[in-house]
């Protein structure tokens, strides 16, 4: 049980990390390269509504989803995952 004198954490004030989330990188890549989410969703086999939710951060982007997106775009996952960024978190 928490000490009465300890302040409760207010998670609404916690700032997001400055690094971009993977789904944001994918979304930006699609936009910058003129891809339509509907076309990529169809190519990946991910339901259009689900794909949209992923790109809006309302659904988790799972590894299998990222793999399918990368195959559809013919790019490496490293384009969206900065391995050095993740290594520096430890």
Q: What is the pLDDT of residues 11-48, one digit of tens each?
A: 444 444 457 899 999 999 999 999 999 999 999 999 99
What count of other Cβ atoms lies within 10 Å of the Cβ of residue 20?
Answer: 15
Return mean pLDDT, the chain.
Answer: 83
The pLDDT of residue 16 is 47
Whole-prediction pTM value?
0.72
As a whole number of angstroms, the distance between CA 11 and CA 17 comes to: 13
Enumerate the H helices of the chain as residue ranges: 22-32, 37-44, 48-55, 63-73, 83-87
As a whole number of angstroms, the distance between CA 86 and CA 22 comes to: 12
* Phi-psi sector, 34: left (phi>0), alpha (psi -120 to 50), beta: left
33-86: pLDDT as tens digits:
999 999 999 999 999 999 999 999 999 999 999 999 999 999 999 999 987 754
The pLDDT of residue 87 is 54
């Amino acid at each position: 049980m928490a000490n009465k004198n300890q302040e409760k954490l207010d998670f609404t004030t916690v700032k997001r990390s400055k690094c971009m989330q993977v789904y944001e990188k994918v979304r930006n890549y699609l936009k910058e390269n003129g891809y339509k989410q509907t076309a990529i969703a169809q190519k990946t086999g991910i339901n259009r509504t689900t794909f949209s939710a992923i790109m809006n951060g309302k659904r988790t982007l799972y590894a299998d989803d990222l793999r399918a997106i990368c195959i559809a775009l013919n790019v490496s996952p490293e384009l969206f995952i900065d391995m050095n960024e993740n290594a520096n978190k430890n």
